[in-house]
Amino acid sequence: MKVVVLLGSDSDFEVIQEALEVLKEFGVSFQLEVSSAHRSPERTLRLVRETEAAGAEVYIAVAGKAAHLAGVVAAHTVRPVIGVPVDSAALNGLDALLSTVQMPKGIPVATMGLGKMGGTNAALLAVEILSLGDPGLKDKLLAYRARMAARVEASSAKLRQKL
């Protein structure tokens, strides 16, 4: 497995569902686990140690509210850690966004935008990181972007037809 996806709670699953499809689309192997920085701190530490020893190259940590998961994971590995803040109800995710992005100097977390958008970008960033050592993945990323650009062009043509 190349990527480890950690969720602070099973209630975060919806946020990362599309991201898992992206990883599958790119043929990137991943391991998905629920582990909380607060409720199961020892399990979180064990998972980071075990998966790094097993060859994990990138971590994606998804958490809401006082979201410490990404920071805790980053504290225990020098592999890149991508944080996805969950947009839960109380503060619309501002709590999780600030908790994830405002890492003190020395322990970086690459923080994505809130919610599903951030989840999908986390998967794409993980693929980009892995593509540094895998030209095949780079080609797939370029093809993915070309498909996106074609969709923009098609949507523009469709809109013009409506006028």
Question: Should residue 8 be labelled a site residue for ligand RP5 when binding is judged by CB under 6 A?
Answer: yes
Pick the closer one to ligand RP5 by CB: 88 or 111. 88
Binding-site member from 9, 31, 77, 121 for ligand RP5 (CB under 6 A) = 9
Stretch that binds ligand RP5, among 8-16, 17-25, 97-105, 108-116 (CB under 6 A): 8-16
Residue 37 gets which letter from DSSP?
T
Q: Which is nearer to ligand RP5, 51 or 88 (CB)?
A: 88
Report yes or no: 85 and 114 within 8 Å, Cβ to Cβ: yes
Q: In this chain, which stretch among 60-68, 76-84, 105-113, 127-135 interacts with ligand RP5, using CB under 6 A?
A: 60-68
The tokens describing 83, both together, are: 């944080």
- 71 lines the binding site for ligand RP5 (CB under 6 A): no
- Between CA 128 and CA 23 the distance in angstroms is 11
- Told to check if 12 binds ligand RP5 by CB under 6 A, we report yes
Residue from 36, 40, 77, 121 touching ligand RP5 (CB under 6 A): that is 36
Query: Rounded to a whole number, what is the distance in angstroms from the first to the last CA of the chain?
Result: 50
**Long-range CB contacts (within 8 A, 24+) of 42-48:** 44/6, 44/69, 44/72, 44/73, 45/72, 45/76, 47/4, 47/6, 48/4, 48/73, 48/76, 48/77
Give the binding site for ligand RP5 (CB under 6 A).
8-9, 11-12, 36, 63-65, 86, 88
